[in-house]
Structure 1
């Protein structure tokens, strides 16, 4: 047996071992097929997203730890009518993937890997989008009946509660397009409208493989074994600020 085969087998058995360990869980977004976008009334007011004050965050997990960073929001707007959010669309610049927990060559290496075809294939799919399909009040009865553990993550047997949103006010559903694949996600969020400004915060988990974000199949058994060493769960968070006025231009 040559060294290459030993390396592949080692990765394979390591993948089997790690797949049996505790994986991140809780606060998962509900994922379904893409939904139709209802036309927003012409009487609704548009709030332009302030891209310098807004942020999209991500946290990826592996058996030995985690990495975190941000992705740039290119533009967006939120539609408000009668004091409620009734729609919105955001354009995400995948070229602005940033790794925050590493520095120097390690930061560059992971950033380039995330941009590659192994993950987000940024050269072919430079833009991701999120378009709201529905917004509902968050039920206090549901919130009261929810187990505390549902709103927390467990990583390597360590409870991590900073990856869940506190005091959700609304349940938001929207079509999330990543790498050319569009699925509908539903998650709790904290939304506030006050003094001509909308703020919205959320943190939830998605399975990256549902959007094809994984090692390419043509890379062979070794690549797929490596993929097993990275948890499918990715925690996504956003902190959006939008102000009344003309929305910024968006890609259709």
Structure 2
């Protein structure tokens, strides 16, 4: 009877153990963000670096995440030399991301739904230039990485330069309102 009581106590103790959250910090140097922006007459692509970030897991399930992006690292990779310098300078200016006043962008997971095994639909708050708007994307995870690709509407962050939505007569100088981000996280 004493052994039965001990087993019952052990089972109750085991049953009340909860899975605690585990925060996996990203390796900012090995993680990447690639951007693609299109315009009527072509496109530009490049990179921007993470400052820091982490995904929170409860067991194997994603339950949270927060990331800070170093906007001063923004660079075009499809150009070199003088043209790259000009485009980088313009992207960092107030016409676009205003990196002198806004050196970081932040993404915070707000809602996470399981889509399938290791795939989550995430709604997050994205803050660029001090403006916060929701973005939704699918995030695929492994034990040591996570990936996603999603679009951002720049006009929601007061980045209107060259937008046909605001300058109707811009013609073939128009720049698409949305740009694409392809993100690879390494833990």
- Tell me, yes or no, whether TM beats 0.5: yes
Unpaired segments ≥5 residues, structure 1: 1-40, 141-167, 243-252
Superposition deviation, residue 170 in structure 1: 1.6
Give the equivalent residue in structure 1 for 2:81: 104
* CA shift in 2, pair 1:227/1:47, >3 Å: farther
CA distance in 2, matches of 1:90, 1:206: 16
> 1:63, CA displacement in angstroms?
1.1
Is 1:234 the counterpart of 2:173? The answer is: no
Structure 2 gaps of 5+ residues are 1-17
- Partner Cα separation in structure 2 for residue 129 and residue 233 of structure 1: 18
TM alignment of 1:1-252, pairs within 5 A: 43-138=20-115, 169-192=119-142, 194=143, 197=144, 199-215=145-161, 225=170, 229-242=174-187
Q: 1:137 to 1:71 in 2, by over 3 A?
A: same
Q: 1:137 to 1:225 in 2, by over 3 A?
A: same
Residues 214, 227 of structure 1: 8 Å contact kept: no
Matched residue SS, 2:176? coil
Shift of 1:172: 1.2
Partner of 2:13: none
Higher strand share: 2
Q: Which runs of 4+ in 1 moved over 4 A?
A: none
Indicate conservation of the 8 Å contact 2:151/2:178, yes or no: yes
- Measure how far apart 1:228 and its partner are: 5.9
How far 1:201 sits from its partner (Å)? 0.8
Identify the structure with bigger relative contact order (alpha carbons < 8 Å, sequence gap 6+). 1
**Larger Cα-atom Rg:** 2
Number of corresponding residues: 168
* Residue aligning to 1:8: none
User: After superposition, what is the alpha-carbon deviation per residue over 1:174-210, rounded to whole angstroms, capped at 9, x for unaligned?
Assistant: 1100010001111122122x2xx3x111111221101
Cα RMSD, aligned residues only: 2.7
- CA deviation vs aligned residue, 1:203-236 (integer Å, no higher than 9, x gap): 11221101111239xxxx79x8389611112111
Cα distance, 1:63–1:182 mapped onto 2, change above 3 Å: same
Change beyond 3 A, Cα 1:226–1:129: farther
SS of corresponding position for 2:48: strand
8 Å Cα contact 2:40-2:172 kept in structure 1: no
Structure 1 residue 128, shift from structure 2 partner: 0.4
